[in-house]
């Protein structure tokens, strides 16, 4: 009995202890998970975020499996556009054991509150504070749950590049988020060879006043660029559009691009009041792109019920909803990992207790690091699509819709994604394909621009501010056909001036201009100094005979070249008249000598190869020498009468006749040119002659030729003589003060038209052109280039050229090129082949002779005298070589029958010689 009672007491005690343990464990797990939210709930995004976050709170608490029966509570704090109130709200949340804070709404507060979050280990999650400079290295507890503004700026830069614009004016609120966004935009534009030409800063939203906006827009109205990017918030942004409309800046030729704030206005305040709709008509804007899904459609369909009609829906509501779910999933994972939601005092704040601010109540979230890690490892599908972070803590696949505001509201003209760039195809469709960011693959639908225009604006015009652009022209004292300033008047004429005026007339807009001469009028000005005046702001452009050279392209932009111009060498020449010995001029003396030598060599080789078998190459020594010379030189005219009987002889003769054919043809062509074309002679053959000599060289004052000769060709400056006019050219060349003059081809053509005693020597050794100069990145350079091409196509460019530069008094004679003599270098390959064939033929022939001689010679007996034996053998071999090969009887008989009677003596002599050789061989045996 007592045992049973004892066991019951033990069991009861164990149950009580177990109950107490479970109760204590549950007590450590709070029933409420506190989350704070800091927004200005009087803004569009603040109102949308409030509705979406409460909807997410309700959905999470409706599913007990998310937090295990615990309740998620979102405490809302209205910062009311005040950074100070935002900081107060954050401190209050930190005192009430808040595990995470959604917000702040602006990057200004994010930079401040992130330091607090770093100390207390409380994650900050914001989908509207998207400043690119909020680095995770500096602010590890700050997480951007929407694509940050860096991606938005890439999209803007690619749109500017896509439409072919180069300069952008930016209007922005002077706060951290807008300012840093503009810095990022400048970087992205420069990567695409575009730039920000002017930055107009407005007071931070919502403190900007109408007077502030008017002041900046009036400045912009006086500028050339018409591409304006507006990066601010809704209140200041709408004010800018309202003022722009009143100033006439929403008409044609203007382009307005707004950041995502405008799309939130279009989405959440539809329908817009008529004044607002008219002021933004034609503007482009971006909207965060979220892929279509059933959950998204269901959420949007119930939005009016959730918001009770207080605010329209925009994509930031989806990001607010998903942000709350990211925190819920991260907290659930924290609890599942055995973590606890607990806070501990910061010992550094203990000494601050008892003061007005209860700073000692601020606690460090013990699980903050793990919760942050869980948030960054989020991998879920939300209303915004797949939610996942890259290694740089940015959301995967950032993308935007591109919106065009029109009269009836807006229309979508395309998409931008970090994966494929600009496209009319939704990004999620392209993710399955290979990325292609080439310019040919970028595409957008048509746009209705400000003023109702459908044609793409130029993006740059001359402002109607009454100021004429200042065009610098060289005050030339020579070659005034190019630029001529009429004495005593402001009239400017010349080839370059007429061309510029014709190009200006083709532009689709008016360009007021004024020519301003540059130079002292005593000598041609330095063209580099003239072009430098553009960079200094003295001139807005330079028109004239301006060569496009490297050092000038570094400081200005040039138009399309309108005339080719390269440096050439001009030197005195003497006319060569025909002489009695002109027939010898086609070949150099060496060529004549080698040709004559080969005639004799080939004749001798053929004689050797034919001597034993061909009667035409036999006979007395005198007759054989005559035969060699006759045969050799008669091949020059293919008139040789001797037939070749051996295969080797025929081979040598065929190769030699081919060589003779080439030599004859070349000689005939060269002699024809010499006798029919006017020949000019000069020791100067071109620039190479001048480089290797120490002769003085003349150049035109002000030309780039001086710098080119010194810097590129390393010609000492002491050899260069400046000359100021064509008359000085002629005088210096005639008096031999200079050996040659180096100048640009258009000048030289004019000079030679009046001075026939000089000529161009060699070829142009630079390839350049002339163009008009304008400031760097000036669209006028592009437009003038297009006009020059149009003038070239319609023939007007040639007409202007003929009007000023087509004087041809004697330039056709003086420009004739000297016909050079043909030297051995042009034919050595032929002679080499012929020589090799001759040598090979002789080797084969003598090898055959030695073989025959050794086969038919009897064995020699022992000789008493070695020297005598060798001499006898040599005589025997020479006799064998000189002997005629005996023909067969039948062939000999036929030959005798066909031979005339007066040739019998030759045959008897040949027979006697052969019999004698036979007796000699028998004697030696």
Q: Which sign does the torsion angle of CA 878, 880, 883, 884 carry?
A: negative
| Whether the Cβ atoms of residue 542 and residue 534 lie closer than 8 Å to each other | yes
pLDDT, mean of residues 565-587: 74
Tell me how far apart the alpha carbons of residues 81 and 647 are, in angstroms, rounded to a whole number. Answer: 110
Q: Where does 540-685 show beta strands of DSSP type E?
A: 541-542, 557-558, 563-565, 567-572, 574-576, 679-681
pLDDT of residue 677: 53
Let me know whether 131 and 213 are in one domain.
no
Check whether residue 76 and residue 169 sit in a common domain: no
pLDDT at 421 over 60: yes
- Residue 7's pLDDT band, with cuts at 50, 70 and 90, is very low
Asked if residue 560 belongs to a domain, the reply is no
Question: What number of other Cβ atoms are within 10 A of residue 514's Cβ?
Answer: 11
Instruction: Report whether pLDDT(287) > 70.
Output: yes
Number of domains present in the structure of the chain? 3
Candidate from 341-355, 441-455, 787-801 with smallest mean pLDDT: 341-355
The reported pLDDT for the residue numbered 867 is 56
Residue 138: helix, strand or coil by DSSP?
coil
- Of 612, 642, 676, the position where a domain reaches its end is 676
Q: What is the pLDDT of residues 803-839, one digit of tens each?
A: 888 865 554 444 444 456 677 777 788 888 888 888 8
Cβ neighbors of 149 (< 8 A, separation 6 or more) are: 130, 131, 132, 177, 180, 181, 184, 259
pLDDT of residue 885: 64
**Residue 8 confidence (pLDDT):** 46
Instruction: Indicate whether 141 and 234 sit together in one domain.
Output: no
**Residue 159 sits in the same domain as residue 274:** yes
pLDDT range class, residue 759, cuts 50, 70, 90: confident
Q: Is residue 568 part of a domain?
A: no
Question: Which pLDDT value is given to residue 515?
Answer: 94
pLDDT digits (tens, 9 = 90+) for 298-342: 999 999 999 998 999 999 999 999 999 999 999 999 998 888 888
What is the predicted pLDDT for the residue at 47?
A: 94
Domain membership flag for residue 361: yes
**pLDDT band per the 50, 70, 90 thresholds, residue 788:** very high
CB 352 within 8 A of CB 360: yes
Q: Is residue 497 part of a domain?
A: no
416 with 368, same domain?
A: no
| 288 in the same domain as 324 | no
Return the percentage of the chain with pLDDT > 90, whole number: 46
Please report which confidence band the pLDDT of residue 889 belongs to, taking 50, 70 and 90 as the band edges.
very low
Structure confidence at residue 655 (pLDDT): 82
Boundary (domain end) residue, out of 619, 649, 676: 676
- Model confidence at 628, pLDDT cuts 50, 70, 90, reads confident
Determine, yes or no, domain membership for 190: yes
* Residue-wise burial string across 367-406, b where 16 or more C-beta atoms lie within 10 A, e elsewhere: bbebbbebbbebeeebbbbebebeeebbbebbbbbbbbbb
Share of the chain above pLDDT 70, in %: 80
Shared-domain flag, residues 271 and 365: no
Question: How does DSSP classify residue 43?
Answer: S
The reply to whether 415 and 286 lie within a common domain is yes
- Distance of CA 740 to CAs 400, 467, 750, 759, Å? 66, 47, 16, 10
pLDDT over threshold 80, residue 744: yes
Q: With contact defined as beta carbons under 8 Å apart, do 171 and 185 qualify?
A: no
pLDDT per residue as tens digits for the range 74-94: 999 999 888 888 888 888 888
User: What is the reported pLDDT for 360?
Assistant: 60
288 and 298 both lie in a single domain: no
Structure-model confidence comparison of residues 788 and 1, the more confident one:
788
The range of the structural domain enclosing residue 299 comes to 32-146+294-387
604: its two tokens: 């001798």
pLDDT score for 917: 42
Three-state secondary structure of 662-694: HHHHHHHHHHHHHHHCCEEECCCCCHHHHHHCC
Q: By the 8 A CB rule, do 201 and 240 touch?
A: no
pLDDT value at position 258? Answer: 97
- pLDDT at residue 668 greater than cutoff 50: yes
Do both 162 and 55 map to the same domain?
no
Is the predicted pLDDT of residue 293 greater than 70, yes or no? yes
Residue 914 confidence (pLDDT): 43
pLDDT tens for each residue of 46-77 = 999 999 999 999 999 999 888 888 899 999 99
Residue 886: pLDDT band by 50, 70, 90 thresholds? low
Give the residue from 120, 163, 126 showing the smallest Cα distance to 142: 126
Q: What is the predicted pLDDT for the residue at 357?
A: 52
> Which is higher by pLDDT, 125 or 836?
125
The predicted pLDDT at position 675 comes to 62
For residue 916, is it within any domain?
A: no
Q: What is the pLDDT of residue 656?
A: 78
Give the residue-averaged pLDDT of 191-213.
91
Q: Which residues pair with 760 in a beta bridge?
A: 570
Q: How confident is the model at residue 193 (pLDDT cuts 50, 70, 90)?
A: confident
User: Averaged over 399-418, what is the pLDDT?
Assistant: 93
Q: How confident is the model at residue 590 (pLDDT cuts 50, 70, 90)?
A: confident
Is the model more confident about 640 or about 815? 640
Rg (CA), the chain: 50
pLDDT at 619 over 70: no
Query: Distances from the Cα of 321 to the Cαs of 6, 61, 165, 315, in angstroms?
Result: 59, 14, 38, 10
Question: Do 343 and 220 share a structural domain?
Answer: no
Long-range contacts of 727-732 (CB under 8 A, 24+ apart): 729/570, 729/698, 729/755, 730/755, 730/758, 732/698
Residue 16 forms part of a structural domain: no
Give yes or no: residues 98 and 198 share one domain.
no
For position 50, which CATH number holds? 3.40.50.2300
Half-sphere exposure of 702 (CA within 13 A, CB side): 26
Per the model's pLDDT, the better-predicted residue between 920 and 858 turns out to be 858
Strand partners, 403: 285, 412
Give the separation between CA 389 and CA 395, rounded to whole angstroms.
Answer: 5
Of 547, 497, 495, 535, give the one whose Cα is nearest residue 517. Answer: 497
Q: What are the structure tokens assigned to 325, written together?
A: 């779910």
Report the mean per-residue pLDDT for the chain: 82
Residue 37 lies in a domain: yes
């Amino acid at each position: 009995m007592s045992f049973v009672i004892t066991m019951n007491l033990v069991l009861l005690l164990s149950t009580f202890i177990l109950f107490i343990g479970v109760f204590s464990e549950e007590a450590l797990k709070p029933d409420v998970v506190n989350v704070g939210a800091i927004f200005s709930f009087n803004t569009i995004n603040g109102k949308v975020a409030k509705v979406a976050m409460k909807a997410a709170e309700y959905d999470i608490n409706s599913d007990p499996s998310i937090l295990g029966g615990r309740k998620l509570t979102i405490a809302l704090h209205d910062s009311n556009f005040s950074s100070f109130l935002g900081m107060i709200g954050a401190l209050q949340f930190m005192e009430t054991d808040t595990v995470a804070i959604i917000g702040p709404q602006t990057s200004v507060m994010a930079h401040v509150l992130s330091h607090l979050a770093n100390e207390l280990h409380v994650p900050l999650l914001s989908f509207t504070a998207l400043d690119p400079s909020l680095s995770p290295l500096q602010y590890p507890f700050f997480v951007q749950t929407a694509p940050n503004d860096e991606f938005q700026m890439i999209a803007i830069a690619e749109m500017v590049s896509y439409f072919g614009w180069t300069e952008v004016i930016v209007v922005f609120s002077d706060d951290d988020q807008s300012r840093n966004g503009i810095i990022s935009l400048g970087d992205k534009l420069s990567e695409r060879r575009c730039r920000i030409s002017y930055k107009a800063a407005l007071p931070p939203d919502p403190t900007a006043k109408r007077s502030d906006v008017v002041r900046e827009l009036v400045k912009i109205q006086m500028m050339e660029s018409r591409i304006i990017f507006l990066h601010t918030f809704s209140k200041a942004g709408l004010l800018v559009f309202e003022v722009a409309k009143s100033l006439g800046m929403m008409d044609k030729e203007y382009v307005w691009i707004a950041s995502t704030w405008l799309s939130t206005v279009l989405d959440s305040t539809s329908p817009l009041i008529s004044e607002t709709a008219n002021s933004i008509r034609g503007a482009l804007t971006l909207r965060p792109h979220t892929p279509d899904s059933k959950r998204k459609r269901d959420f949007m369909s119930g939005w009016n019920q959730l918001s009770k009609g207080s605010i329209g829906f925009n994509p930031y509501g989806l990001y607010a909803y998903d942000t709350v779910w990211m925190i819920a999933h991260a907290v659930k994972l924290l609890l599942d990992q055995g973590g606890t939601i607990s806070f501990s005092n910061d010992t550094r704040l203990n000494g601050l207790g008892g003061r007005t601010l209860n700073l000692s109540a601020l606690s460090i979230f013990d699980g903050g690091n793990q919760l942050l890690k869980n948030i960054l490892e989020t991998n879920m599908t939300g209303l915004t699509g797949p939610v996942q972070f890259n290694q740089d803590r940015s959301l995967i696949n950032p993308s935007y819709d591109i919106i065009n505001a029109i009269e009836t509201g807006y229309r979508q003209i395309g998409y931008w994604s970090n994966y494929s760039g600009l496209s009319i195809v939704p990004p999620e469709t392209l993710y399955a394909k290979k990325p292609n960011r080439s310019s040919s693959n970028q595409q957008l639908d048509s746009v209705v621009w400000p003023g109702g225009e459908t044609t793409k604006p130029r993006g740059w015009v001359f402002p109607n501010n009454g100021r004429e652009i200042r065009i610098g022209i060289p005050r030339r004292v020579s070659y005034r056909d190019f630029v001529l300033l009429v004495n005593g008047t402001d009239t400017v004429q010349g080839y370059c001036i007429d061309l510029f005026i014709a190009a200006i007339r083709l532009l689709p807009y008016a360009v007021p201009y004024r020519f301003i001469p540059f130079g002292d009028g005593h000598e041609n000005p330095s063209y580099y100094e003239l072009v430098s005046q553009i960079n200094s702001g003295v001139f807005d452009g330079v028109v004239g005979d301006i060569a496009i050279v490297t050092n000038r392209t570094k400081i200005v932009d040039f138009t399309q070249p309108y005339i080719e111009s390269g440096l050439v060498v001009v030197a005195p020449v003497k006319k060569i008249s025909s002489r009695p010995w002109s027939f010898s001029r086609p070949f150099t003396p060496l060529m004549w000598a080698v040709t004559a030598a080969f005639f004799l060599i080939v004749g001798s080789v053929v004689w050797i190869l034919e001597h034993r078998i061909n009667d035409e190459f036999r006979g007395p020594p005198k007759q054989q020498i005559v035969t060699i010379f006759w045969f050799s030189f008669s091949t020059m005219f293919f008139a040789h009468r001797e037939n070749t009987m051996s295969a080797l002889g025929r081979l040598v003769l065929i190769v030699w006749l081919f060589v003779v054919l080439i030599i004859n043809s070349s000689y005939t062509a060269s002699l024809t040119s010499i006798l029919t074309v006017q020949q000019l002679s000069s020791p100067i053959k071109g620039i190479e002659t001048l480089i290797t000599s120490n002769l003085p060289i003349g150049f035109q004052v002000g030309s780039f030729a001086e710098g080119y000769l010194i810097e590129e060709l390393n010609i000492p400056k002491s050899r260069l003589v400046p000359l100021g006019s064509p008359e000085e050219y002629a005088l210096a060349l005639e008096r031999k003060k200079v050996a040659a003059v180096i100048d640009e081809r258009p000048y030289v053509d004019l000079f030679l038209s009046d001075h026939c005693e000089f000529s161009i020597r060699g070829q142009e050794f630079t390839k350049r052109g002339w163009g008009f100069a304008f400031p760097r990145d000036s669209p006028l350079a592009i437009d003038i280039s297009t006009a020059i091409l149009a003038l070239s196509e319609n023939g007007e460019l040639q007409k202007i050229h003929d009007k000023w530069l087509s004087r041809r008094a004697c330039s056709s004679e003086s420009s004739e090129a000297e016909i050079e003599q043909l030297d051995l270098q042009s034919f050595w390959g032929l002679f080499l082949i012929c020589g090799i064939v001759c040598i090979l033929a002789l080797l084969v022939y003598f090898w055959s002779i030695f073989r025959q001689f050794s086969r038919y010679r009897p064995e020699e007996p022992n000789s008493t005298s070695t020297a005598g034996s060798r001499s006898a053998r040599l005589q025997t071999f020479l006799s064998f070589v000189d002997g005629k090969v005996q023909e067969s009887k039948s062939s000999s008989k036929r030959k005798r029958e066909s031979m005339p009677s007066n040739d019998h003596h030759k045959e008897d002599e040949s027979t006697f010689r052969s019999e004698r050789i036979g007796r000699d061989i028998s004697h030696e045996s």
